[in-house]
């Protein structure tokens, strides 16, 4: 990790370095992704199966593309019972948290006969993408499916790449079944996103696609946006720890490494007012890294995107936190709750020495699908809100129309939209076309 003094220049340099990891920076891959998306859109199953054979080295057909009940039963036999118990407890926490996010339709009547309201409706069909390459993420299944189920989505379709034997990871299948996925298909990469967006003979078209993936998946989601809704175009994982002299360097080092091990593009940043803490954390990171299984990935991540920022004051540190707007933010200070009140931009906030970020990844309940690459300045965590639509409802009685009609006509005429004005005028027994302005 690089230790640097926090200045306006150093902060800007870090921001620019982090933004280069954004999927928007990968123009070279966009052309290849566009070709795949167009191929599946035009060729349906035939193109989907061809790309699956090319990229995943397995033959899939209409007969075996959908996961069967027997395959799910087999997965349950393979999953460790202890893990299944943990998964169910995590699922209960995630569901309980998201239940609190549910919104209701509302209507308000006025004495003049006006009724205004908002009708909340769940998105009908949702597609969830689950990676299946270097690592298996049943936690991502739970985090993407649960808010959709709580919202009341009628049909949840999942796609995930098969292994070379045409099978899906058992942990992924069990997580999907526990969370309530309706259909699971063996398809991965950009071709799976295209299949969900446009539909094929085997895979149904959905209205929204969520879920993590590699750069090709991210770019495919970007390419189909507008034909369907998406959750976000996510970048690599990030953690920032805001700490003072009271923080335990062992805890801080462990938490920074927990994100650095995701991939070479992950970012881990400590911002602190304590030189002593910075030195101890750096030493502890070296000691931990020697023992960790993903050492090469961690070393690459920290070399390129790992920083220790030394701030002159807590205020300067908070300013840096808000400017960088990290996906995960840990506040490990003397009074973390007081510091939290000054935080404006962060995907998820973890308070105090015992609130390690992995609690949020797996178990606590809040969603771990979070804004990255500084988008926490204007995006939020995945939630029930992402799986609903809000329709405005308007009712005017004759009395209410007569009271408001002239105002509407005046507004419409000011915009030279006479048909708008006429729509109101005919109800009031007037003809706007024969009236002088």
Residues acting as catalytic residues: 327-328
Beta bridge partners of 307: 2, 269
Residue identified by tokens 């936690």 is: 139
Q: DSSP secondary structure string, 63-131? A: TTSBPPHHHHHHHHHHS-HHHHHHHHHHHHHHHHHHHTT----EEEE-TTS-EEEEEEEE-SEEEEE--
Q: What is the DSSP letter of 226?
A: T
Q: Are 120 and 104 in contact (CB under 8 A)?
A: yes
Task: Check residue 57 and give left, alpha or beta (phi > 0: left; psi -120 to 50: alpha).
Answer: left
- How far apart (Å, rounded) are the C-alpha atoms in residues 297 and 303? 10
| Continuous segment of H or E residues that includes residue 425 | helix 418-425
Q: Give the span between the Cα atoms of 121 and 388, in whole angstroms.
A: 6
| Residues 131 and 161 sit within 8 Å (Cβ to Cβ) | yes
Q: How far apart are CA 299 and CA 223, in angstroms?
A: 33
Concatenated DSSP letters of 235-291: -S-EEEEEE-TTS-HHHHHHHHHHHHTS-TT-EEEEEES-HHHHHHHHHHHHHHHTT
* Residue closest to 52 by CA, chosen among 245, 185, 158: 185
Q: Which among 213, 307, 209 is positioned nearest to 263, based on CA atoms?
A: 213
Query: DSSP string of 48-69?
Result: HHHHHHHHH-----TTTSBPPH
Return the H-helix or E-strand segment holding 218: helix 215-224
Helix/strand/coil for 413:
helix
């Amino acid at each position: 990790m690089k230790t640097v003094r926090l200045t306006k220049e150093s902060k800007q340099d870090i921001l620019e370095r982090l933004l280069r990891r954004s999927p928007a920076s990968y123009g070279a891959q966009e052309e290849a992704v566009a070709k795949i998306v167009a191929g599946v859109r035009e060729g349906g199953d035939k193109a989907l199966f061809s790309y699956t054979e090319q990229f995943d080295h397995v033959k899939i057909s209409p007969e075996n593309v959908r996961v069967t009940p027997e395959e799910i039963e087999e997965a349950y036999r393979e999953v460790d019972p202890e893990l299944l118990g943990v998964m169910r407890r995590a699922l209960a926490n995630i569901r309980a948290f998201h239940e609190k996010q549910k919104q209701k339709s509302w209507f308000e009547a006025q004495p003049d006969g006006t009724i205004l309201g908002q009708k909340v409706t769940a998105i009908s069909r949702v597609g969830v993408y689950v990676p299946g390459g270097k690592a298996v993420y049943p936690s991502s299944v739970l985090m993407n499916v649960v808010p959709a189920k709580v919202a009341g989505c009628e049909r949840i379709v999942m796609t995930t790449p098969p292994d070379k034997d045409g099978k899906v990871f058992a942990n992924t299948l069990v997580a999907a079944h526990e969370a309530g996925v309706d259909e699971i298909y063996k398809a991965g990469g950009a071709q799976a996103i295209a299949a969900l967006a446009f539909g094929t003979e085997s895979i149904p078209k959905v209205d929204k696609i969520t879920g993590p993936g590699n750069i090709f998946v991210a770019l495919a989601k970007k390419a189909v946006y507008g034909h369907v809704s998406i959750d976000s175009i996510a970048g690599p994982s990030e953690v920032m720890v805001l700490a003072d002299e009271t923080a335990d360097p062992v805890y801080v080092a462990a938490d920074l490494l927990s994100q650095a091990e995701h991939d070479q593009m992950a970012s881990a940043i400590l911002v602190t007012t304590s030189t002593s803490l910075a030195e101890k954390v750096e030493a502890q990171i070296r000691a931990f890294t020697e023992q960790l299984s993903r050492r090469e990935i961690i070393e690459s991540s920290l070399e390129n995107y790992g920083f220790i920022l030394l701030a002159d004051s807590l205020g300067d540190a908070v300013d840096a936190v808000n400017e960088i707007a990290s996906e995960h933010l840990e506040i490990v200070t003397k009074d973390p709750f007081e510091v939290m009140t000054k935080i404006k931009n962060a995907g998820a906030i973890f308070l105090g020495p015992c609130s390690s970020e992995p609690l949020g990844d797996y178990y606590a309940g809040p969603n771990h699908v979070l804004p990255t690459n500084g988008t926490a300045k204007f995006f939020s965590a995945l939630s029930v809100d992402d799986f609903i639509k809000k329709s405005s409802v308007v009712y005017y009685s004759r009395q209410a129309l007569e009271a408001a009609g002239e105002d509407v006509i005046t507004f419409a005429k000011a915009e030279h939209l006479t048909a708008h004005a006429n729509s109101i005028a005919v109800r009031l027994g007037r003809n706007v076309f024969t009236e002088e302005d």
